[in-house]
Structure 1
Amino acid sequence: MLQLKDIKSVYFIGVGGIGMSAIARFFKYEGLHVAGYDRVSTVLTKELEAEGIDIHYKDDIKQVALNYHDKSSTLVVYTPAIPADHSELCYFNNKGFDVRKRATVLGLISKGMNSVCVAGTHGKTTISSMTAHLYKQSSVGCNAFLGGIINNYKTNFLHDGQSPYVVLEADEFDRSFLHLHPHFALISAVDADHLDIYGDEESVSDAFHAFVEKIEPGGVLLHKAGLMIDDVNDEIEVFTYSIEEKADFSAMNIRLVNGMYQFDMRSPFGLVKGLKMGVPGLVNVENAVGAVGLALLGGVEPEEIKAALPLFEGIRRRFQYRIKEDKLVFIDDYAHHPQEINATVKSVRALYPDKHITTIFQPHLYTRTRDFASGFAEALDKCDRILLMDIYPARELPIEGVNADMIRLLMHNKHVQLVGRDELFSVLTSEQNEVILTLGAGDIDKEVPLLEAKLREFISNY
């Protein structure tokens, strides 16, 4: 296998993935040749191309530049979302190149650093991004590989050559987080998810326990209060966090001021008063408690945290306001699991208790829809009106009998209908809207800016 010092060129198969793109940016920053393939052009791939990374969109080895055909100096990185019969992946494997999964490469890059790893079946992107921001804005500093684009920095990769810390989003998909070497680890949730990989909820839990076992001696585990995490190695410290239960790190005196939450926080380091959020939503208060806990554990001073937290501008597609006017509120969110949808809708209800909420939801994956149809139905029932788009298949082939109508048939709310992409705006505006919420992890993000533009024009006429 190649050593990092021997690598001159890095080729990414699936470069447009959020985790892949952060690693691509790292190698580009290091001055290496970086190129890649992805299935479709997106906002993110266009940003990578503007940064000097060559990308093509057809599975064709002839489109790969010659300097990536030297196996003595080329590392090939692929995402597990790429099918095994992908012709470029098969070419590099058959020719004896050093071909590695994204998670393996991330583990290689971060080894030897103080890794701050944030895991959980939901919440990890926001918590890791908040954590990175708090470290970045302090004297401690950090490097970061994140699963979302932080609005403050317009990137998912942060570099600080003076800091020993690296903040990592620890992804449970395909057990990727087991390639990391945590010094500090946070677990936000352990719910049944990715059952196409794990098979059952017990196997998901087992993977998270294996992740805990990866924490370095002398390290720290911080987990949400109430999670059943036991048999922890005596060589690590364990803390809990919560906004609802008794915990080592806990929020107090939570109040809503001009649409943003403020709170005090009790911690083993003392009471931190007057924390102010820069992003909306009660769910983000809990995320902030976890992020602040990791920052305090890493040596970030309370006054640095108080100054940085209200400046956090959020993450692209995480409770992101697209329109915030008296006539209409439009919020876009990545939520794609029933628990995430519950948390997002609860946060919207808290902010707009008397408003009518219309939700557009695009289910992500046939397997996830099959496994959680009843959970989706229950979560979406809490909205006033629901428009269901077709399932986004991502890496999967269709499963007979699995479709968005499965969710509709399980719902009690009668104000729900299936809607095609081409009729989305006309159906949406056939009724009066007060709050619009778009949800999903598929390509619904392509519709969001189009909807925003049309809605702005629409509301200007009334």
Structure 2
Amino acid sequence: MDLTNLISQEDLIKRRSQIKKVFFYRICGAGMGPAAVLVKQAGFQVEGADSAFYPPMSTFLETTGIPLHKLDVVTPEFLKQYDLIVVGNSVSGKLDAARMIEKTGVPFTSFPSALGSLVLKEKNVVGIAGTHGKTTTTYFLTQMLESLGQNPGYLVGGIIEGRDPAKLGDKYFVIEADEYDSAYFHKISKFRLYELKNMILTSLEFDHADIFSSVEKIEDEFRAVMPNMKSTLILNQEYPSAMKLHKEYSQNQSQKWFLYGAGSEAGPHNVKTFENGSEFEVKWKGETIPFKSSVVGGHNVLNITSCILYLLSEGFKVADVQKAAEAIGMVKRRQEVRGKYKDMVVIDDFAHHPRAITVTLDAIRARFKGKKIVTIFEPISATARSSIFQNEFRDSLAGSDKVIIAKASIATTALGGQDLDVDKLAKEITAMGKPSQVATNLEELRTAIDKNVDKDGVLLVLSNRTCLGLWESSFVQELRP
């Protein structure tokens, strides 16, 4: 590994005016594509390359006019025409491509560093961080700022119907502040490079076991940025790790700190969840303020409460914030109703962590009162595939009426971890009175679904990928409104 031409964040900020042409290597990544568009909107000439181009990212990039190339045309001579190379996180440091980029003589960096240096440095950046709820809360705050007459920039790590995943905007910029690492040469959390001025920390517990060995290691990533942030920090006090950080840094008089969550002064209090929305109260400067919102579920009430506190801290009027909270849309794959299958409502959700599963089930029960819930769970992330949460998955999934576990065919990459024992998991959930079984391929999964059809019930599919190919199969065509 030769990092001679790796440009530091500080130098990239200083040399911003000298950068004209930027090349994104592996541009179709979930973060790379939107970052490339933001850099283009900021006034730079942007091009990119990848091995293949698939919708929706390829369609999004094509609409922006960014020239796209196949990787086989990218040579050292080709790259020398650019002032900066942005390297995607999918590029391993062991690849020949990494050696090629390093030896071109052209400065290179990761997309979080490029985004922070070229786009976000002068913005009022609000980072939405945490183990759960980042994408949803990023979208909530973006919508609320728009309702308040602002033109916020944003980068949302999910698919949103009728909206691009990123936009430059004006004063405010809301970004999903991911704790995953940035590139093979930037083994630090992405949010450390985003030039954050504000942070909402929705939750903080152990995850990403393929890169972190403990929750304390994740805490250290926050310790690297919190003391230097210039404005507002809003933390969910229900998480011990978040409260450790609060204790360490909240005495900084140049920052504004707020806590929310169960037992906090701010709330939310007196939460009532209905099929089509929620009512709750937030306490602000001694005043108890009622809110109504279209969001459903206790976790989404918490997410929108954090947005409310930020907007009030920015000086927006209470009545305007109340109105902004009323009609809020959801990101796809977050409690998304996909249709009906044999009279069962089919819901697609991204949850892949025990706590996320618990709060999602709570929200589904509140929304579909009295209906039986059949949950399909695909443990596919590095952490979910490991035995780290063996017992926690048992307890969270037991909140369903029936469970189908879609077994991943790949071993976990968790540091020092063993594979999740799905057979043991199914057996123990069954012993708790909730019939459970394991499916190892799409055919077995479809058979299990048909076997467990519960008329007028709910089929909840929990996966952050395709669920053994279910979402790419004829099952989708068989759904009806």
Normalised TM-score (structure 2) = 0.82
Picking from 348, 355, 360, the partner of 2:376 is 360
In structure 2, the partner of 1:332 is: 348
Q: Partner of 1:245 in structure 2? A: 263
- Retained in 1: the 8 A contact 2:47–2:68? no
Q: Which residue of 1 aligns with 2:173?
A: 166
Contact 2:278-2:293 at 8 Å conserved across structures: yes
Deviation at 1:314, TM superposition (A): 0.8
Q: Structure 2 CA distance, aligned partners of 1:265 and 1:326?
A: 41
1:425 to 2:446 alignment: yes
Whether the aligned pair in 2 keeps the contact of 1:118 and 1:127 (CA below 8 Å) is yes
Give the Cα separation in 2 of the matches to 1:363 and 1:325: 23
Residues 335-372 of structure 1, C-alpha deviations (whole Å, 9 max, x = no match)? 12222112111211222342221222222234542222
Structure 1, 376-385 or 444-453: larger mean CA deviation: 444-453
**Alpha-carbon distance between aligned partners in 1 of 2:353 and 2:408, rounded to the nearest angstrom:** 13
Q: For residues 338 and 400 of structure 1, what CA distance do their matches in structure 2 show?
A: 17
1:105 alignment partner, SS class = helix
Distance in 2 (alpha carbons) for counterparts of 1:302 and 1:282: 22
Equivalent residue number for residue 32 of structure 1:
45
Note the C-alpha offset of 1:214: 3.0
Aligned counterpart, 2:385: 369
Q: Is the 8 A contact 2:21 2:44 kept in 1?
A: no
DSSP 3-state at the match of 1:150 = coil
Alignment: residue pair count: 446
Q: CA deviation at 1:51?
A: 4.0
The 3-state SS of whatever aligns with 2:329 is coil
Partner of 1:280: 296
After alignment, is 90-99 or 266-275 more displaced?
Answer: 266-275
Match runs of 1:37-436 below 5 Å: 37=50, 41-53=54-66, 61-64=71-74, 69-71=78-80, 73-108=82-117, 109-151=119-161, 153-160=162-169, 163-174=170-181, 175-216=189-230, 219-226=231-238, 227-228=242-243, 229=245, 230-232=247-249, 233-242=252-261, 244-247=262-265, 249-268=266-285, 270-277=287-294, 279-323=295-339, 327-370=343-386, 371-391=388-408, 402=419, 405=422, 408=425, 411-413=428-430, 414-433=435-454, 434-436=457-459
How far apart are 1:450 and its partner, in Å?
4.4
Q: Is the 8 A contact 2:209 2:382 kept in 1?
A: no
Decide which moves more: 173-182 or 282-291: 173-182
Q: 1:81 to 1:387 in 2, by over 3 A?
A: farther
Work out the CA distance in 1 between the residues paired with 2:27 and 2:153: 20
Contact 2:82/2:106 (8 A) holds in 1: no
Structure 1 residue 322: Cα displacement: 1.3
Q: Larger deviation: 337-346 or 255-264? A: 255-264
CA contact (8 A) 2:273 2:296 kept: no
Task: Give the distance between the partners of 1:31 and 1:86, measured in 2 at CA.
Answer: 28
Q: How far did 1:220 drift?
A: 1.6
Provide the secondary structure at the position in 2 that maps to 1:90: helix
Mapped to 1, the partners of 2:152 and 2:204 lie a distance apart of 27
**Which residue identity is paired with 2:168?**
H
Q: Comparing 10-19 with 393-402, which one deviates more in the overlay?
A: 393-402
1:141 & 1:336 partners in 2: Cα distance?
Answer: 33
Cα shift at 1:181: 2.7
Taking the aligned partners of 1:446 and 1:302, their CA distance within structure 2 comes to 46
- Do the aligned partners of 2:398 and 2:429 also contact (CA within 8 Å) in 1? yes
In structure 2, the CA distance between the partners of 1:442 and 1:399, relative to structure 1 (3 Å rule), is farther
- Evaluate the alpha carbon distance shift between residue 308 and residue 198 of structure 1 in structure 2; reply closer, same or farther with a 3 A threshold: same
Shift of 1:224: 0.7
Check conservation: 2:127, 2:198, Cα contact below 8 A.
Answer: yes
Contact persistence 1:150–1:156 (CA under 8 A): yes
State the one-letter code of the partner of 1:421. L
User: Where do 5+ consecutive residues of structure 2 fail to align?
Assistant: 1-6, 182-188
TM-score of the aligned structures, taking structure 1 as reference length: 0.85
Cα pair 1:363 1:440 within 8 Å, conserved: yes
Change in Cα spacing, 1:392 to 1:302, as seen in structure 2 (3 Å) is: farther
Where structure 1 has 5 or more consecutive residues not aligned to the other structure, the ranges are: none
1:404 deviates by: 6.1
Task: Look up the SS of the partner of 2:326 in the other structure.
Answer: helix
Relative to structure 1, the CA distance from residue 33 to residue 285 in structure 2 (aligned partners, 3 Å threshold; closer, same or farther) is same
User: Shift of residue 27 of structure 1?
Assistant: 2.8
Amino acid at match of 1:27: V
AA of the residue aligned to 1:204: I
CA distance in 1, matches of 2:83, 2:444: 46
